[in-house]
Amino acid sequence: ETVALLPDHPPVTFTWRGVRRRVKRADGPERVFGEWWKRDAELAAVRDYFQVEDENGERYWVYRAGDGEDAATGSHKWFMHGIFG
């Protein structure tokens, strides 16, 4: 579960492993999408990546599937991509 202002803002809060985390700092979005010149479907596979830090100083790499506006670009659901040690 994630709370964010769409389309380009990072999450304000997110829940990961059952713990609600409040974002203190964020960088992004960095938009990634497929090789549109190969297949039209690749253009619709958009991901917006954010590096976020919570109130405890833990850092995460999260992304939203889609551009935050057009439903054809993805589900607009949020995913955990990784954590920084």
Residue 43 has a pLDDT of 66
**Is the bond leading into 11 cis (omega within 30 degrees of zero)?**
no
pTM of the full predicted structure?
0.87
Ramachandran angles phi, psi of 66, nearest 5°: 110, 170
Residue 77 has a pLDDT of 94
- Distance, in Å, from the CA atom of 42 to the CA atom of 34, rounded to the nearest integer, reads 4
CB under 8 Å, gap of 24 or more: what pairs does 74-77 form?
A: 74/44, 74/45, 74/46, 74/47, 76/6
pLDDT (tens digit, 0 to 9) for every residue of the chain, 85 residues total? 899 998 889 999 999 999 999 999 999 999 998 776 777 776 668 999 999 999 999 999 999 999 999 888 889 999 999 999 8
Ramachandran angles phi, psi of 9, nearest 5°: -90, 150
